A and B are shown apart, each in its own frame.
Chain A
Amino acid sequence: MIELVNISKSFGDQTVLKDVSAQFEKGKVNFVIGRSGSGKSVMTKCTVGLLEPDSGNVLFDGRNFTAMNLKQRKEIRKEIGMLFQGSALFDSMTVEENVMFPLKMFSEMPLEEMKARVLHCLNRVELTGSEHKLPAELSGGMQKRVGIARAISMNPQYLFCDEPNSGLDPQTAIIIDNLILDLTKEYGMTTVVISHDMNSVIEASDTIHFIHQGEVAWSGNNADMMTSSSSTLNDFVYASKLMQRMRNTI
């Protein structure tokens, strides 16, 4: 479980996060939703330590990440896998080298075992046969899947996905959503997905946290969200005509 306790973050005069508290549960896909600029990405960056919060604490299974020194944080980070919005694959490396990278850096595995692990991860994301391709030779959806394979190569305890479906067609987006959902259950990970794609939220979420103007304005699950009386949440969820039609059928 990951707990955020009263996290605040400002950039100059602009307060982006105001006393944010949230719990991301183990073995579940925890969605963080909200409008662009609401503070979702800043919250994630504060959680994984890419940004330092001004106040508050982040706890990974009770371990206070915010209070740790650099060396202790590195140990926690080895338990974290992250899928970035643009995949963030190393463009000078092949697919195999990308997925093998964390293993080479941190594991003591012999090369053959590493290769077997890479094959297993690529097989899990249905990309067997693409080992020797460069990221530039892959489609957006394939790059996301390589990003997921790299993120799970070290058997992480925590998986963060930043806008995993941005730029993907609806069918590929559903494949990615289901992959994240399946892997979370299979590995028992605490998964946090940052998204403003309502299709993904409906498809894959176990718990949902709605961020509005730097605060957690609403928390609950999929079913609660559809029937919520929160006007700010409803404005966000039912912004599209498709969702409005869906509401009328509920």
Chain B
Amino acid sequence: MFYKMLVKEMGIIGIDSLGIVVLLATFMGAVMCLQTAHQVSGWYPAYIIGFTVRQTMILEFSPTLIPIILAGKVGSNIASQLGTMRVTEQIDALEIMGVNSSGYLVLPKIIAGLFCIPILVVMSMFLGVASGAGIAFVTKVCSMAEYQEGIQLDFESYSVVYALLKTSVFALIMTSVSAYHGYHTEGGALDVARSSTKAVVYSAVIIMITNLVLTQILL
């Protein structure tokens, strides 16, 4: 039963979030490319465009913004699902049957988040850098050779390790904070909505604060 739940949650957290991640990463990479080109044009060599897109996507946009967006989508989904189960006595029903409700309902969501969100973030890094190349090619803000030189310039693999460490912590925060608010809902439909809102707001705030602390510690 646990593995079935885990696979189901991976589908909800991972597969169902593919669309929004692809959309966001593609546009973020493309916009970052155009913004950089506009700022550095004539002042710095053109390969800086590829370099900036890579650094921003790997270090900040993908590992921080994607989990914040997912806190809105996945976090509210987790909180409202658990909140509804609480107010309709489904969690009480599990407890009466002798099932550890938090282990059965919450743990698969946390594990699925820890597994799927880093994969989504790595995918968004690639997509962001690729979409930057695409928009550079279409708008001719730099040549492909310059862009390629930029994305290879001073590349440190630790950047990816740092990004994945941050992402894993954010995934843990998002899933557990949302599950906490949903699981401890009391009342009716309005309280489920409140729990869902709280889950998103608390997750986003805690992610931002943790981001600051982790950046100071890890870089």
Chain A residues with a Cβ under 8 A of chain B: 48-50, 73-75, 77-78, 80, 82, 84-86, 88-91, 101-102, 104-106, 160
Contact = CB atoms under 8 A, between A and B. Distances in A.
B16 interface: no
B19 interface: no
Contact residue range for chain B?
10 to 19
A77 B93 CA distance: 11
A106 B98 contact: yes
Contacts of B93: 82, 84, 88, 90
Contacts of A104: 1
Given A104-B1, A105-B1, A90 B90 contact: yes
19 contacts: A50-B92, A50-B95, A50-B96, A73-B98, A75-B98, A77-B97, A78-B97, A82-B93, A82-B96, A86-B89, A88-B88, A88-B90, A88-B92, A88-B93, A90-B90, A91-B88, A104-B1, A105-B97, A160-B96
Contacts of A89: 90
Interface of B: 1, 88-90, 92-93, 95-99
B92 A84 contact: yes
Contact of B96 (A75, A80, A90): A80
Nearest to A75: B98
Contact of B89 (A80, A84, A106, A160): A84
Q: Top 6 nearest A-B pairs by Cβ distance?
A: A77-B98, A88-B89, A74-B98, A88-B93, A84-B89, A82-B96
A48 B88 CA distance: 18
B89 A102 contact: no
B89 A85 contact: yes
Given A88-B88, A88-B89, 16 more contacts: A74-B98, A77-B95, A77-B97, A78-B97, A80-B96, A82-B96, A84-B89, A86-B88, A88-B90, A88-B93, A89-B90, A102-B97, A105-B1, A106-B97, A106-B98, A160-B96
Contacts of B97: 77-78, 101-102, 105-106
A43 B98 CA distance: 19
A88 B94 CA distance: 9
Given A84-B89, A86-B88, A88-B89, A48 B1 contact: no
A73 B99 CA distance: 11
Contacts of A86: 88-89
A78 B99 CA distance: 9
A106 B90 CA distance: 18
B108 to A, nearest CB: 13
A42 to B, nearest CB: 13
Nearest to B96: A82
A88 B91 CA distance: 8
A48 B96 contact: yes
Nearest to B92: A50
Contacts of A75: 98
Contacts of B89: 84-86, 88
A95 B165 CA distance: 42
Q: Which of B1, B89, B92, B96 has the most CB of A within 10 A?
A: B96
A203 B98 CA distance: 31
B24 to A, nearest CB: 28
B155 to A, nearest CB: 45
A154 B138 CA distance: 66
A106 B100 CA distance: 12
Contacts of A77: 95-98
A97 to B, nearest CB: 11
A93 B89 CA distance: 15
